[in-house]
C-alpha cells in the first residue's frame, strides 16, 4: 500500500473514531456533526510549566488546576518554538497556530522598517475608544496580525453564526486571541476601572458590558485589601522570605511584605489592581458576564471564549517566581479557574464544552535570587549596551546614534544614516558589533540575521530565531544570552529567551472529546490551534504550522 493510501486510511479511521467516541449528542439534529457547544481558551500570562506542580498540594480540591489535571489530558513537554517569548507573540501563536515569521507579531512592540517608526503590536490610529474617554486605550485592533485565528476559522465555518468573545485586562491579550472578526474583544482601562473596546469592533458597548462596568467591581475588590490566602506557615516551604532585596514595589512605595492595603486606592488609582490577584477575580467576573450576556454555548453551533489572566505577569515582573506574592497569586488563581469551570458546568453543562489551558511564556529566576543561590545568571541593561556601543562607534566613524535600538536581544542599525553615508561599511559595522557582543560576559552568541544559516549555534536556537524573524519588523543582529541572564532590572524578573524557564509552558486539555492522561512527547504552542481545528472539524488558521495532538482525543 502506498504512503498516501496509508495516510488517508489512518486519517479516515481517526475521524471516524473521534466522531463515534462522543456518547452525548449536543444537537437536536441527530445528523449534525458532533462538536462541543463551546471552546474556552484559558491563557495565563507568565505561567511556568512547573507552577502546575510546585504549589500542587496547596491547590483546592474544587479549584481549577487539580480538576484539569485530574480529569483532563496534559501535554507535559510543550514548548514555544520561536523567540522572543513575549506576551503578544505568545497569545498570537496560540490562537493562530503560527509563528512571528508568518503572523508578523514579533514582539509587544517593534521598530517598523517600512513605516520607519516604533509600533505597538495592536496600534491602530484609524479607530477610537468605546466605553471610556481615555483616548489612547481604545486605538487598538488586530490589523497588525497577518494570519487568521482559530476563532476566525470557526466563524467562517459556520457562516458567522458562531460567537467568538475575548476578555483580558491586557489589550493585546484580548485583541490578538479574538482574531479579525470576533463578536467582541474587551480589555481593561486602568484610568477609569472599566472594560473597553474599540470602534474596530462596535460603536457602543453591549448592555451587559455597561452593566458590568456600572458595578465598579475594582472598588469592591480594593476594599478587601490583599491578605494571605493560606496560612503564613506554608509560604516559607515554597518561597523565599516575604521581603527580599530582589523584589520591586509597585503597589505601595517601599513595601514588599503582606498585607497590602488597597482600600486607599478606591476611586483614585485603578492601575494598582493589576499588581494584585484581585485582577484575576475581575477577569473571571468579566468572563462570566460574557458567558451570560452573549449566551455562549447555548446555540446550534459551537462558540468560543478566549480568557487571559494577566496578573501573574505583573506580579512576576515585580517580585519574581520565588516570591510570596506570586505563590499567593497562583493559590488564588486556582480558585478563579475553578469558579469559571463551575459556571461553565451550570450554563453549558459538564461534558458539553472543551477547555485548553496554556501560557504565553514563563519567566527566569530573579537575577539576585540566582546570585544568592550560586546559580548561573544575572541582569544587564540593554540601554547601557546601546549607549556604550554608540559612544565607541561615534569615535570610530564620527557619527552619533549608529545603533538605533536594542530590543528583544536584537540590535537595530540606524539604516537611514547608513543609507546617507558611504563612510560606514555595513559589513564592517556588523562584524564590529558582533565582536563587541561576544566579548560581553552575559552573551553566548551573536550573529547577523542575513547570515543565520552560517551561525555556529545549536539547531534549537537557530530554528527558534528563524521562526521569530519577520524582516519588516526585526533588527539586524540577534544575540543569545547565556542561560539565566536577561536584559532588564535586578529587581523582579522578565522573559523572552529560548530557554526552558521561558519556553516550557503548560498545556492541559479538558472536557468534550478529551480523554484523561498525559504525554511526554514534545509538543508545541503552535499545536494548540491545529488541535482545536481537528476537534471542531474546521479549517486550520491561515498561517498554522502546528500539528494535531491525537493522544488527547477520546
- Relative to beta strand 443-448, strand 477-481 is antiparallel
What is the rounded CA–CA span in Å between residue 82 and residue 88? 13
CA distances in angstroms from 90 to 153, 173, 207, 369, listed in the order given: 19, 9, 31, 26
Query: 109-118 contacts: CB < 8 A, separation 24 or more?
Result: 109/407, 110/407, 110/473, 110/474, 111/404, 111/405, 111/407, 111/412, 111/473, 111/475, 112/472, 112/473, 113/415, 113/471, 113/472, 113/473, 114/472, 116/416
CB under 8 Å to 213, separation ≥6 — which residues? 131, 193, 194, 195, 205
Alpha helices in 402-537 (DSSP H): 415-420, 426-438, 459-467, 500-503, 527-536
Cβ–Cβ < 8 Å for 265, 317: no
Nearest CA to 369 among 296, 309, 316, 447?
A: 316
CA atoms of 85 and 79, how far apart (whole Å): 10
Choose, from 87, 283, 318, 523, the residue flagged as catalytic. Answer: 87
DSSP at 76: E
Positive or negative, the CA dihedral 235, 244, 51, 377 is negative
Listed residue (1, 72, 99) closest to 549, CA to CA: 72
Q: Is the N-terminal amide bond of 84 cis, ω within 30° of 0? A: yes
**Residue 25: strand, helix, or coil:** coil
Q: Is 177 helix (H, G, I), strand (E, B) or coil?
A: helix
Strands 38-44 and 303-309: parallel
Q: Are 208 and 281 a contacting pair, CB within 8 Å?
A: no
296 alpha carbon, distance to own chain's centre:
23
DSSP state of 539: P
The DSSP letter of residue 529 is: H
The residue among 359, 295, 356 whose CA lies nearest residue 535 is 356
Per DSSP, helices labelled H in 51-178 are 51-54, 65-71, 87-96, 100-103, 150-157, 172-178
Given a contact cutoff of 8 angstroms between Cβ atoms, the answer to whether 332 and 462 are in contact is: no
**Greatest distance between any 2 Cα atoms in the chain:** 78
For cell 510570596, the residue is 324
Task: Reply yes or no on whether 412 is catalytic.
Answer: no
Contact between 530 and 540 (Cβ < 8 Å): yes
The DSSP bridge partners found for residue 504 are 79
163 near 299, Cβ under 8 Å?
yes
Cβ atoms within 10 A of the Cβ of 236, count?
11
Q: What residues are labeled active site?
A: 87
Amino acid at each position: 500500500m502506498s504512503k498516501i493510501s496509508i495516510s488517508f486510511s489512518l486519517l479516515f479511521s481517526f475521524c471516524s473514531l473521534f466522531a463515534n467516541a462522543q456518547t452525548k449528542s449536543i444537537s437536536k439534529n441527530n445528523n449534525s456533526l458532533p462538536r462541543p457547544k463551546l471552546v474556552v481558551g484559558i491563557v495565563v500570562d507568565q505561567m511556568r510549566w512547573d507552577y502546575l506542580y510546585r504549589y500542587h498540594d496547596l491547590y483546592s480540591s474544587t479549584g481549577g488546576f487539580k480538576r484539569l489535571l485530574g480529569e483532563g489530558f496534559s501535554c507535559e513537554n510543550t514548548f514555544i518554538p520561536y523567540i522572543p517569548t513575549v506576551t503578544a507573540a505568545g497569545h498570537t501563536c496560540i490562537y493562530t497556530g503560527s509563528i512571528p515569521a508568518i503572523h508578523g507579531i514579533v514582539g509587544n512592540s517593534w521598530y517598523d522598517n517600512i513605516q520607519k517608526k516604533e509600533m505597538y503590536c495592536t496600534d491602530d490610529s484609524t479607530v477610537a475608544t468605546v466605553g471610556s474617554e481615555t483616548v489612547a486605550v481604545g486605538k487598538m485592533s488586530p490589523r497588525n496580525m497577518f494570519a487568521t485565528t482559530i476563532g476566525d476559522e470557526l466563524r467562517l465555518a459556520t457562516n458567522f453564526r458562531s460567537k467568538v468573545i475575548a476578555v483580558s485586562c491586557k489589550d493585546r491579550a484580548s485583541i490578538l486571541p479574538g482574531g479579525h472578526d470576533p463578536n467582541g474583544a474587551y480589555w481593561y482601562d486602568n484610568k477609569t476601572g472599566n472594560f473597553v473596546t474599540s470602534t474596530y469592533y462596535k460603536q457602543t458597548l453591549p448592555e451587559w458590558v455597561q452593566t458590568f462596568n456600572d458595578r465598579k467591581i475594582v472598588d469592591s475588590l480594593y476594599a478587601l485589601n490583599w491578605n494571605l490566602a493560606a496560612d503564613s506557615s506554608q509560604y516559607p516551604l515554597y518561597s523565599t522570605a516575604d521581603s527580599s532585596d530582589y523584589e520591586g514595589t509597585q503597589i505601595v512605595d517601599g513595601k514588599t511584605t503582606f498585607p497590602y492595603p488597597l482600600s486607599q486606592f478606591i476611586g483614585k488609582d485603578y492601575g494598582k489592581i493589576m499588581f494584585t490577584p484581585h485582577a484575576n477575580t475581575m477577569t473571571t467576573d468579566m468572563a462570566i458576564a460574557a458567558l451570560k450576556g452573549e449566551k455562549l454555548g447555548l446555540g446550534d453551533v459551537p462558540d468560543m471564549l478566549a480568557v487571559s489572566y494577566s496578573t501573574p505577569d505583573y506580579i512576576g515582573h515585580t517580585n519574581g517566581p520565588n516570591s510570596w506574592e506570586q505563590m499567593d497569586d497562583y493559590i488564588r488563581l486556582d480558585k478563579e479557574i475553578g469558579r469559571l469551570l463551575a459556571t461553565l458546568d451550570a450554563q453549558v453543562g459538564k461534558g458539553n464544552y472543551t477547555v485548553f489551558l496554556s501560557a504565553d511564556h514563563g519567566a527566569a529566576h530573579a537575577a539576585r535570587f540566582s546570585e544568592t543561590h550560586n546559580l548561573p545568571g544575572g541582569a544587564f541593561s540593554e540601554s547601557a549596551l546601546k549607549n556604550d556601543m554608540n559612544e565607541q562607534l561615534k569615535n570610530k566613524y564620527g557619527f552619533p546614534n549608529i545603533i538605533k535600538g536594542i530590543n528583544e536581544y536584537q540590535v537595530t542599525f540606524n539604516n537611514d544614516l547608513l543609507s546617507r553615508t558611504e563612510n560606514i561599511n555595513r559589513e564592517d559595522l556588523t562584524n564590529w558589533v558582533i565582536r563587541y557582543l561576544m566579548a560581553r560576559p552575559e552573551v553566548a552568541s551573536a550573529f547577523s540575521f542575513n547570515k543565520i544559516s552560517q551561525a555556529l549555534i545549536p539547531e534549537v536556537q537557530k530554528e527558534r530565531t528563524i521562526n521569530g524573524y519577520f524582516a519588516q519588523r526585526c533588527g539586524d543582529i540577534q544575540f543569545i544570552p547565556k542561560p539565566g541572564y536577561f536584559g532588564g532590572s535586578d529587581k523582579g524578573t522578565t522573559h523572552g529567551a529560548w530557554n526552558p524557564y521561558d519556553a516550557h509552558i503548560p498545556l492541559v486539555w479538558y472536557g468534550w472529546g478529551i480523554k484523561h492522561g498525559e504525554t511526554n512527547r514534545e509538543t508545541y504552542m503552535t499545536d494548540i490551534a491545529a488541535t482545536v481545528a481537528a476537534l471542531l472539524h474546521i479549517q486550520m488558521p491561515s498561517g498554522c504550522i502546528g500539528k494535531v495532538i491525537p493522544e488527547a482525543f477520546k
